[in-house]
Amino acid sequence: MHYRSRLTFREAWPPSALAGLITCRQRPSSSVGVVFLLLEDETGNSNIVVWKAVLDSYRAEILQRQLVRIKGIVEREGEVIHVVAGQVADFSQKLATIATRKSHSQKIVQARNFR
């Protein structure tokens, strides 16, 4: 994420958008209604927090899609930087275009889902 260096001076940043592949989904039983995503793009990984209200509104995008755009608030808690999702858009249809540009030896990674 490009905001990491600037977040040392602020606890929260204005609304931002980022897109990437969902490489991991976690729905811990101790966090009722909260989903944690790991989103990967060309710059690295981003931690995404999805609260229950957002999950209810964007359930298919969060739980079934591969490539998404997240709009939300970038926050910092100690050394941990994450995005609290406010809106989620499915961009998975663009994977076909990306896949045709990639060599046959490169694969699109499927997300790992954990409870």
Could you give the C-alpha distances from 3 to 48, 85, 98, in angstroms and in order? 14, 16, 26
- Please indicate, yes or no, if residue 35 is contained in any of the structural domains: yes
CA distance 55 to 99: 28
CA distance 68 to 88: 7
More confident: 15 or 86: 86
SS3 106: coil
Count of structural domains, the chain: 1
Domain range for 48? 6-95
The 10s digit of each residue's pLDDT in 13-41 is 678 899 999 999 999 888 788 999 999 98
Q: What rounded mean pLDDT belongs to the chain?
A: 81
- Please indicate, yes or no, if residue 53 is contained in any of the structural domains: yes
- Please indicate, yes or no, if residue 114 is contained in any of the structural domains: no
Residue 8: pLDDT band with limits 50, 70, 90? low
- Please indicate, yes or no, if residue 105 is contained in any of the structural domains: no
User: Residue 61 pLDDT more than 50?
Assistant: yes
Mean pLDDT value across residues 102-112 = 55
pLDDT at 105: 47
Mean pLDDT value across residues 84-104 = 80
CATH number at residue 65: 2.40.50.140
* Backbone angle region of 61, left / alpha / beta, with phi > 0 → left and psi within -120 to 50 → alpha: alpha
